[in-house]
Amino acid sequence: MNRLTTARERSMRGSGLQRALRIGAILFIVAALLVWLLFGEPGVFGRFNTLGFAFCHQLPTRTPSFGGVACPLCYRCSGLFLGIAVGFSLFRRRAVSFRSLLGPVPMIGAVSAIGFYAFDGMKNLNRSALLSDLYPDRPIIRCLSGFGLGVWVGWILTLMLREFTEPGRFSAGRRIRWRDLLIALCLSIAGVYLLVNADPRWIPIQRAFGLTLGLVPVTVTGALFFVLLSAMDRLIRFAREPLPVWDRVLGAAALTALFVGSMIVFRYQVAGGWVREISAFR
């Protein structure tokens, strides 16, 4: 009887602590949203630029602009997070695994994507005349250098999320077919076109696309924190029940708000305001 009472008391204490953590996380997220709305850059586009400020240098000369409105991410970062979104949509319900990453095609693709991303970034630092003269510095090349790496990162992110959500849902996933690759290719071409072509006919769509793209880094950060919390929960769980998925989502959202807010405050203090043209972030 005493053992049953003790177990029940522990369960009640645990549920009470869990409830308090939920309420605290919700209050923190609401407070972070209010601070973002009240103290971010003015206007709808300014608010989204504030979010992008945490992830990207946003140098005006290297950032897409649609009808005088800047995208929250530069060309390279836009390509990177567009690639992550396309990669996630391509692989999320397909029969791929971590073992498939070790195949020759994925490995060659990964090394090529990482190498091109790093090389193009180093070239555009203009530290070497030999490298700078190899090919012109164009927005399309910046986008593609980020996009190739983004697709590979999207694959990795998909596999990590599968590991900690519902693995059974994906065990029967079909293999990637030519139709899947064609859809991904069409999405990629459309996304890159909207980024690098300032066509007056498409300005409203380009602005909406830019704002949507500005939310991808926040979503990716939240997904990584979700994976981290899930891994920690699995590591220290022992005999306890696993944390519900929504508790992990709530915790990941709170950590994301803390991380993004900290990065924005840090950059704002270093730059002395919403300043992009400074050498420290080139």
CA distance 73 to 83: 13
How confident is the model at residue 223, as a pLDDT?
A: 92
Residues of the chain with pLDDT under 70: 1-17, 93, 95, 126-132, 166-176, 237-240, 276-282
For 250-269, give one letter per residue: b (16+ CB within 10 A) or e: bbbbbbbbebbbeebeebbe
Show the tokens assigned to 90. Answer: 């391509």
Tally the C-alpha atoms within 13 A of residue 2's C-alpha that lie toward its C-beta: 0
CA distance 19 to 66: 45
How confident is the model at residue 281, as a pLDDT?
A: 40
How confident is the model at residue 190, as a pLDDT?
A: 87
How confident is the model at residue 81, as a pLDDT?
A: 94
**Angle, nearest 10°, between helix axes 245-271 and 203-236?**
120
Tally the C-alpha atoms within 13 A of residue 234's C-alpha that lie toward its C-beta: 10
Amino acid at 209: F
How confident is the model at residue 273, as a pLDDT?
A: 74
CA distance 213 to 209: 6
Dihedral sign for Cα atoms in the order 133, 134, 140, 145: negative
CA distance 188 to 61: 23
How confident is the model at residue 255, as a pLDDT?
A: 93
Dihedral sign for Cα atoms in the order 173, 176, 178, 180: positive
| 3-state secondary structure (DSSP) of residue 167 | helix
Beta strands in the chain (DSSP E): 65-66, 69-70
C-alpha torsion 189→64→204→153, nearest 10: 50
Q: In this structure, are residues 63 and 75 in contact, taking their beta carbons and an 8 Å threshold?
A: yes
Q: In this structure, are residues 112 and 148 in contact, taking their beta carbons and an 8 Å threshold?
A: yes
